[in-house]
Amino acid sequence: MINLRYLEVFHAIMRSGSITAAARSLHISQPAVSEMLKQAESRMKIQLFERTGGRLTPTPEAKALFPDVASVFGRLDAIDRQVQDLAGGRLGNLSLAAAFPIANGYLTKAVATFLATRPSVQVALQSLTSPQVAERVAYGEAELGLAYNFESLSKAVEAEVLVDSAIACVLPESHPLAKYDEIDLKDLAPYPIITYLPQAVLRGYVDRALADAGVAPVVAVQVSLSLTGIMMSYYGAGIALVEPFLLTSLTFPGLVARPLRPYISLKTLLIRPAGASRSLVANDFVEELKKTINESQELLVRSYGSSFAGE
């Protein structure tokens, strides 16, 4: 049987035209190349080159063999490039699931930035509720999930805190409360507010904080999405009590964000399947995501004040 090393020597000689050049390309000695060529001809029982005047001339048999050998090494080169792309996180598939405000905000920026240098990576992104995100990850339908912290997280997943943020007020800059750097929950009492529907995970955060402050709010609108609440505030329906990160991704002229006091802590989780191996693509993406989140937090602080730096 002919082995791959003999074919490699034959391929190098055919491409370079001499034993000396082939030895240089293979990083071995000239005598070693000559010896392997002799062994290859002996194994195959055909003469591959005629030696005339110190030069090698391919025989008809060598010319007939070369296209198939070149095809083999072309495939090996392709495999080598694929390995390098996989090792560098430039090739593969990435399946993501994220809660609606996250999917419509900094996550989309992180994905776009990530793909800019990895055109061969394919991303699938599902926008869901936080419990649905954890469910998709648990069932293996998403490799990474981003969701707000909620009770009864499945043991089939593992989670780490990715962002520690807060519910805030989003309101027109002409609103009487917009002049304050921070807004006390008690100051909301006389004004119509926009909050989440009762079944939304973030509604529980808002209701508990208002109850603890002794505030019976005037609920004007209930929404399922932070974006819808922000748009409602933009058109004057009331003060939106929402997670404010979307304001770093979308432009709403005339709207401002103000932290609430007491601070309504809101944790965003990065969710993975418990005990599962982690792809290089996913690991690289998480690094890009964390960088994007840091940039968004800094923009929020620059745009709306240092109180958004957290507790």
CA distance 213 to 202: 17
Q: Residue 133: its pLDDT value, please? A: 94
The dihedral sign for the CA sequence 134, 138, 140, 144: positive
What's the start-to-end Cα distance of the chain, in Å? 71
Q: Which domain holds residue 177?
A: 164-266+304-309
Tell me whether residue 299 is in a domain. no
Q: Please tell me whether residues 184 and 246 are part of one structural domain.
A: yes
In the predicted structure, residue 280 carries a pLDDT above the cut 60: yes
Domain end (from 35, 70, 87): 87
Q: Residue 299: its pLDDT value, please? A: 84
DSSP code per residue over 214-239: T---EEEEEES-HHHHHHHHHTTS-E
Query: How many domains are contained in the chain?
Result: 3
CB atoms within 10 A of CB 60: 9
Q: Please tell me whether residues 142 and 173 are part of one structural domain.
A: no
* pLDDT top residue among 6 and 185: 185
In the predicted structure, residue 222 carries a pLDDT above the cut 70: yes
* pLDDT top residue among 53 and 260: 260
In the predicted structure, residue 265 carries a pLDDT above the cut 90: no
Domain CATH number, residue 67: 1.10.10.10
In the predicted structure, residue 270 carries a pLDDT above the cut 90: yes
**Mean pLDDT, to the nearest integer, of 245-262?**
87
- Strand-pairing partners, residue 270, are 146, 160
Q: Please tell me whether residues 70 and 216 are part of one structural domain.
A: no
Closest CA to 248 of 285, 301, 175: 301
Q: Is the peptide bond before 67 cis (omega within 30 degrees of 0)?
A: no
**Mean pLDDT, to the nearest integer, of 47-53?**
83
Q: pLDDT tens digit string along 21-45? A: 888 888 899 899 888 888 888 888 8
Q: Please tell me whether residues 179 and 257 are part of one structural domain.
A: yes
Q: Please tell me whether residues 29 and 98 are part of one structural domain.
A: no
- Strand-pairing partners, residue 194, are 221, 240
CA distance 179 to 166: 20
Q: Residue 16: its pLDDT value, please? A: 87
Q: Residue 153: its pLDDT value, please? A: 83
Looking at every residue in the chain, the average pLDDT score rounds to 87
In the predicted structure, residue 134 carries a pLDDT above the cut 90: yes
CA atoms within 13 A on the CB side of 159: 28
Q: Residue 4: its pLDDT value, please? A: 83
Q: pLDDT tens digit string along 146-188? A: 999 887 788 899 999 998 888 999 999 999 999 998 999 999 9
In the predicted structure, residue 14 carries a pLDDT above the cut 60: yes
In the predicted structure, residue 309 carries a pLDDT above the cut 70: no
* Element (DSSP H or E) covering residue 239: strand 239-242
Domain end (from 43, 72, 87): 87
Helix 19-26 to helix 30-44 angle (10° resolution) is 110
Q: Residue 272: its pLDDT value, please? A: 94
**Phi, psi (5° rounding) for residue 122?**
-110, 135
